Amino acid sequence: MYTIIFKDRTEFHGGEPSESRWNEIPDKPIAELYYDLAGKKIYLKNYEAYNHLTKYAFHVDSQQQIVVAVIIMGLDNKKVKRFIFDFIQKKLIVDEVPINQEYNNKPASRWKAGLKNYLPENQPNYKIN
């Protein structure tokens, strides 16, 4: 589902939406983050920090949890850029919220450090294919 490239150019490969392995990511600065969600490719670079949340719902008939959305976040200058992929509608929504309001108007935990470089050519950016 995702690949992380660290400052030292080593990589970490995440799992599937229901088992993302986000808590297993080594504690070192992230340089780049690549996601592939149902064919939608998302690339983030130069953010101060990154986060990943998975939203679940219960299937009424089976009472099993199903993944309904994945929220990928990049923090920059007290603003959080969110990339919300809805698996039910197969739709990607991109928005921006103030820090500490990134999940249901509350702060999210489990942020991973990025590489903030204040040179103009190294401003946070993203691409979606």
Domains of the chain, residue spans: 2-128
Determine the pLDDT at residue 119: 56
- When comparing pLDDT for 39 and 13, which is higher? 13
Rounded to an integer, the average pLDDT of 8-27 is: 92
Rounded to an integer, the average pLDDT of 84-100 is: 94
Contacts of 101 (CB under 8 A, 6+ apart): 80, 107
* CA contacts within 13 A on the Cβ side of 19: 1
Give the confidence band of 115 by pLDDT, cuts at 50, 70, 90.
confident
Rounded to an integer, the average pLDDT of 91-100 is: 95
Percentage of the chain modeled with pLDDT above 90:
66
